[in-house]
Amino acid sequence: MTVELNKTVPNFTAAVTGKETAITLSDFLGKNVVLYFYPKDSTPGCTQESQDFRDNYEKFTALNAVVFGISRDSIRSHDGFKCKQNLPFELISDNDEAICQLFDVLKPKMMYGKEVIGIERSTFLINAQGVLVHEWRKVKVDGHALEVLNMLSTNVANK
């Protein structure tokens, strides 16, 4: 089963940084949820993307949104990355790839001449009712956080 636009996102529980050890998607009903999937902590593109969401975080929260970054890295790796980049939002560890599979973000990639399965940079906007209202796939980092913010703003304004 994978997510579909304009359908309710299936509930999931995931390991997360911060005071809580896990979050459940349904805990955020009543809030907009931004899930951005990225390949690896502390790599240039992933760092820039996370910084862009960080730098616009107050604008997201002003629009009743929570932001989560997701990769297959461990909580320990996420904790270090979050601290070093001063990220005000939590990072989800999906090392069993269940959430990656739900959102269909695992794709073949070439790395050092070998094909590997990795996370395709993707972002999903879930509205306050738990419905997937927008998705971005094959994301280019430059300007992406602002694009998500603009779409969120439009969705909130159209309520």
For residue 77, give the DSSP letter.
Answer: H
d(CA 137, CA 69): 15
83 is catalytic: no
Q: At a CB cut-off of 8 Å and minimum separation 6, what does 85 contact?
A: 47, 50, 51, 54
Helix (H, G, I), strand (E, B) or coil at 127: coil
Contacts of 117 (CB under 8 A, 6+ apart): 106, 107, 108, 109
Q: Residue ranges of the alpha helices (H) in 57-126?
A: 57-62, 75-85, 98-102
Catalytic residue among 3, 14, 46, 92: 46
Looking at the annotation, which residues are catalytic?
Answer: 46
